[in-house]
């Protein structure tokens, strides 16, 4: 639909003028071409405008081309706030704290894997707990659970589930410092105690893919990617633990809004000043949930490696399985950015958006200093995913942020209704894609038509200069909750 009042800046950008809604302190910018603008909904635009009313916002309220309505912030939303006058809002992070993806490469080629693909996918499905309420074979006692919240993926590696170099290939090395396990509720601990190493449900997946197109040979070589190569993508987050952390925090933030007399256009934007006790506590528990998510993906990666070893009866060195990168989607971080020619520390909220730092940034591991941060963009189970890298323009314009996926077109209810009478798994097999899931409703909710075309989304951020296309990955087989 066409939303009245927006102004097209260029082929990749729409402006939400500062007067679009009362109280806006800045404008909004939505990264969309004319094709994706046709499916833009007014609720998402209103959420972009609502974020622009928050105290201390620096620069525009941003939304990526995978934009769709979320809780408080739109999914695909990015906003940065001043550390003195700005706020922290759980709605700018989301319920699934540090939902993210990691991409593994192998030395195997598509032709080598196809004969054993079914066996490999069945191995994933047996080994990796999936679905609502799925429980891990690794049970955490209270002491070890607290260690996970402080150490993140490092705890998993120390337990023998991975390699030390895995940490070098993860955003924040798989751990944010400053987590406080003492602030976590009993209910959150109960929900998370049996969920480490579980995939969960909804749009979470583990997928076997292959590189079917390379756009930048030099960067692809630096990442170790080549045509026809088999890769694996893991997409999950902090599970019920992170959801409960967010639920608990929102109750606190609702009280903080009244305490600090913050005027909001939407109660879902509940927030607190950055330098307040409520905001400090939220950041401490958010970091704990983020660390849980990094540990979760690290453990699943270990089980993926084991499944490959069993299926191909080969040593890890022969298979060449290693981590390219792990990125977070739902997170808030204190970062240094250049604003109007001056370096400033800001609290950057990314909700359904990926950090995409340019070459030379201090936070990048040495191996990626010259090419920029790898950006992993998952698509739906029937089309494609993409590997990109961060750019200098993205640093200047979007605080080093880009899209995080395809973005939903249909609600889950609409998808289930559309899928009636269809066998989605059979449709996928007809395309040569093997799918395993715990229930047919999951496949209905996640069918390709439920999402925007990932190629369109990636074209927008590439053409806008927020991130650079490197390679396209096609699905071969996937497990879902």
Q: Which residues are catalytic?
A: 404
Rounded to 5°, angle at Cα 295 from 225 and 88: 100
The phi and psi torsions of 121 (rounded to 5 degrees) equal: -65, -40
Query: Are 140 and 148 within 8 A, CB to CB?
Result: yes
**Structure tokens, 338:** 């250049």
Q: What is the DSSP letter of 162?
A: S
In angstroms, the CA 54 to CA 50 distance is 7
In angstroms, the CA 92 to CA 72 distance is 7
Query: Closest Cα partner for 39 from 425, 437, 329, 406?
Result: 406
DSSP string, 300-355: HHHHHHHHHHHHHT--HHHHT-EEEEEEESSEEEEEEEEETTEEEEEEEEEES-EE
Rounded to 5°, angle at Cα 471 from 466 and 474: 120
* CA distance to 71, 98, 175, 270, per residue, from 168 (Å): 33, 18, 11, 35
């Amino acid at each position: 639909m066409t939303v009245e009042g927006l102004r097209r800046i260029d082929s990749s950008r729409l402006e939400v003028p500062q007067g679009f809604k009362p109280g806006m302190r800045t404008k909004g910018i939505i990264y969309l071409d004319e094709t994706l603008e046709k499916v833009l909904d007014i609720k998402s635009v209103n959420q972009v405008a609502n974020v622009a009313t928050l105290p201390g916002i620096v620069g525009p309220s941003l939304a990526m081309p995978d934009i769709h309505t979320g809780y408080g912030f739109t999914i695909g939303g990015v906003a940065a706030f001043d550390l003195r006058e700005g706020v922290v809002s759980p709605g700018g992070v989301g319920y699934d704290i540090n939902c993210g993806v990691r991409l593994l490469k192998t030395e195997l080629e598509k032709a080598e894997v196809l004969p054993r693909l079914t066996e490999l996918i069945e191995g994933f499905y047996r080994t990796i707990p999936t679905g609502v309420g799925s429980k891990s074979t690794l049970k955490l006692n209270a002491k070890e659970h607290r260690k996970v919240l402080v150490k993140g993926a490092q705890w998993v590696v120390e337990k023998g589930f991975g390699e030390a170099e895995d940490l070098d290939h993860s955003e924040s090395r798989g751990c944010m410092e400053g987590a406080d396990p003492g602030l976590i509720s009993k209910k959150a601990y109960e929900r998370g105690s049996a969920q480490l190493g579980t995939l969960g449900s909804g749009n979470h997946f583990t997928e076997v893919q292959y590189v079917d197109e390379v756009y930048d040979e030099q960067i692809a070589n630096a990442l170790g990617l080549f045509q026809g190569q088999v890769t694996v993508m893991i997409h999950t987050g902090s599970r019920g633990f992170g959801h409960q952390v967010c639920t608990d925090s929102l109750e606190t933030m609702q009280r903080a809004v009244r305490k600090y007399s913050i005027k909001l256009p939407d109660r879902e934007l509940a927030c607190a000043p950055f330098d307040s006790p409520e905001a400090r506590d939220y950041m401490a528990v958010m970091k704990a949930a983020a660390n849980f998510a990094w540990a979760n993906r690290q453990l699943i990666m270990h089980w993926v490696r084991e499944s490959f070893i069993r299926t191909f009866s080969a040593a890890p060195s022969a298979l060449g399985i290693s981590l390219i990168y792990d990125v977070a989607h739902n997170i808030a971080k204190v970062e240094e950015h250049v604003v109007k020619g001056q370096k400033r520390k800001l609290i950057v909220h990314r909700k359904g958006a990926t950090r995409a730092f340019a070459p030379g940034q201090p936070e990048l591991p040495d191996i990626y200093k010259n090419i920029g941060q790898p950006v992993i963009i998952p698509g739906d189970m029937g089309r494609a995913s993409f590997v990109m890298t961060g750019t200098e323009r993205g640093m200047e314009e979007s605080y080093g942020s880009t899209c995080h996926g395809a973005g939903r077109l249909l609600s889950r209810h609409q998808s289930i209704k559309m899928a009636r009478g269809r066998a989605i798994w059979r449709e996928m097999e007809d395309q040569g894609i093997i799918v395993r899931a715990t229930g047919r409703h999951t496949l209905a909710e996640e069918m390709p038509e439920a999402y925007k075309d990932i190629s369109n989304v990636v074209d927008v951020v590439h053409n806008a200069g927020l991130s650079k296309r490197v390679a396209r990955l096609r699905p071969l087989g996937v497990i879902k909750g």
